[in-house]
Every structure is written in structure tokens, then in C-alpha cells.
């Protein structure tokens, strides 16, 4: 005689497999973390420069951003080479990019002179645009996927393009065009300081969230 089947409420729910953080990391994930670490290192060096005015600290911050870009490119290449997907990959990449290509470039702008009240508002806007751009990409990536399993294009400029701002600041820093001698000078608005050079950050941020800019993905 067979035993009666258990009632639906008596069936034990299937437990979700526990995802171990460190053991789940792939080599590509570690490279992505190196990207974020480079960006955070740049932020800390900017803070140290503001406190000491030692130029070597600022040069260190400027040098870490191209390194972060190398890591950002390398993680995708390594993931494809090893044919191993990671449960953290996309989210980890976006979070690292926020630090390295959003927060760090803003700190690099603030430290050598874009430090007025209105400058700060523009830099905050820039970081907000970077966060929004990455969130939109994560949500729409599947819709932009081709038959080959690759994203066909970007809507708005990718956040790593902010490295171009870092290049501009590096040239300015190398020619002593910073602080009181910063390019385009400063303007007092309502007794608050505004540096027109910070508008480069406004343009960059706006381009990231633009829905009309279609950038082919190489």
C-alpha cells in the first residue's frame, strides 16, 4: 500500500544554493576589483594632495585612472578568453566603474582647483549622470544584444570616456594651470565661486545620459 502524497503545504521548499563570495570570484572579477581599487586609490591621493599640496600625490592620482581603464578593458577580455561567466560580473563592473570613472575624475577635478560651490554642484551632477548611465545600461543590455550575444551599441557615451577629462586636468597640472591660474579663470556668482572649466564635466555627464547619442560598441 502506497503512502499518501504530502499536502502542498507539507512539501519542503527547495533551498536556494548558497553563493560563496570569495570562491565565486573569477579571474575577471579580480581584475574588475583592481579597476575599482585604482579609482579608490586616486580618490585617496587627491585627498592627500589637498592636505599637503605635494605634486607627486596628484600625479599618482592622475596615473591611476589610465591604469583603471586598462583593468576595465582587460576584465572583459579575460572573461571571454576563459569562457567563464561570473554571477557578479556585470554588477561588479558597474560598481567599479562608478568609483574609477565617476567619483575619481570628480575628485581629480576638485583637488587642483575646481572647488567652488557651483563647481561642486556640477561635479555631483557628473557623478549622478555616471551612476544613471550604468544603471540604464544594465537594464537595457539584453534589448541591445545582437544574435552574436554582444551589445550592438551604447546609448550615450560610456562612462570610461571620463578619462578624457583626466587627460585635460593632467595637461593643466603639468603646465601649472591649476588653482588660481586654472584655465578660463573663475567667476563670482552671488558671492560664490564658479570655474568655467568645470563645464567640461557638465558636458561629459550630459553626454552619458543622452538617449540620442548612439555609440557603436567595438
Is 46 part of any domain? Answer: yes
Is 10 part of any domain? Answer: no
Q: What is the pLDDT of residue 72?
A: 92
Is 21 part of any domain? Answer: no
With residues binned 3-state (H G I as helix, E B as strand, rest as coil), the percentages for the chain, rounded to 5, are 65, 5, 30
Residues shown for the chain = 218
Q: What is the pLDDT of residue 108?
A: 98
Q: What is the CATH number of the domain that holds 209?
A: 1.20.120
Measured distance CA(154)–CA(76) in Å, rounded? 16
Is 19 part of any domain? Answer: no
Q: Is the alpha carbon torsion for 164, 169, 173, 175 positive or negative? A: positive
Is 198 part of any domain? Answer: yes
pTM: 0.83
What are the phi and psi torsion angles at 14 (to 5°)?
-70, 125
Is 6 part of any domain? Answer: no
Mean pLDDT of the region 11-36: 70
Grid cell of 84 as nine digits: 567563464
Is 9 part of any domain? Answer: no
Measured distance CA(46)–CA(88) in Å, rounded? 29
Q: How confident is the prediction for the chain on average, in pLDDT? A: 85
Domain membership of residue 80 as a residue range:
26-216
Is 12 part of any domain? Answer: no
- Encode pLDDT of 63-103 as tens digits: 999 999 999 999 878 867 766 666 566 788 899 999 999 99
Q: What is the pLDDT of residue 138?
A: 80
DSSP-derived letter for residue 101 is I
Q: How many domains does the chain have?
A: 1
Measured distance CA(86)–CA(121) in Å, rounded? 36
pLDDT at 177 > cutoff 60: yes
- Encode pLDDT of 142-157 as tens digits: 665 555 556 666 778 9
Q: What is the pLDDT of residue 129?
A: 97
Q: Which residue has the higher pLDDT, 30 or 22?
A: 30
3-state secondary structure (DSSP) of residue 87: coil
Among 29-38, 70-79, 173-182, the minimum mean pLDDT is found in 70-79
Amino acid at each position: 500500500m502506497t503512502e499518501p502524497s504530502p499536502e502542498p503545504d507539507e512539501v519542503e521548499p527547495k533551498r536556494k544554493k548558497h553563493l560563496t563570495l570569495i570562491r565565486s570570484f573569477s579571474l575577471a572579477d579580480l581584475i574588475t576589483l583592481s579597476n575599482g581599487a585604482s579609482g579608490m586609490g586616486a580618490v585617496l591621493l587627491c585627498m592627500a594632495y589637498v592636505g599637503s599640496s605635494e605634486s607627486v600625490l596628484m600625479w599618482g592620482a592622475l596615473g591611476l585612472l589610465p591604469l583603471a581603464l586598462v583593468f576595465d578593458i582587460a576584465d572583459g577580455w579575460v572573461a571571454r578568453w576563459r569562457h567563464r561567466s561570473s554571477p557578479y560580473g556585470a554588477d561588479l563592473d558597474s560598481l567599479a566603474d562608478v568609483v574609477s570613472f565617476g567619483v575619481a575624475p570628480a575628485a581629480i577635478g576638485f583637488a587642483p582647483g575646481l572647488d567652488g560651490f557651483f563647481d561642486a554642484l556640477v561635479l555631483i551632477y557628473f557623478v549622478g549622470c555616471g551612476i544613471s548611465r550604468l544603471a540604464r545600461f544594465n537594464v537595457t543590455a539584453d534589448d541591445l544584444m545582437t544574435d552574436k550575444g554582444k551589445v550592438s551599441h551604447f546609448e550615450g557615451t560610456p562612462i570610461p570616456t571620463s578619462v578624457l577629462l583626466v587627460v585635460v586636468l593632467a595637461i593643466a597640472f603639468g603646465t601649472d594651470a591649476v588653482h588660481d591660474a586654472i584655465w578660463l579663470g573663475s567667476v563670482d556668482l552671488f558671492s560664490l565661486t564658479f570655474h568655467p572649466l568645470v563645464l567640461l564635466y557638465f558636458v561629459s555627464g550630459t553626454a552619458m545620459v543622452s538617449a540620442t547619442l548612439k555609440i557603436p560598441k567595438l
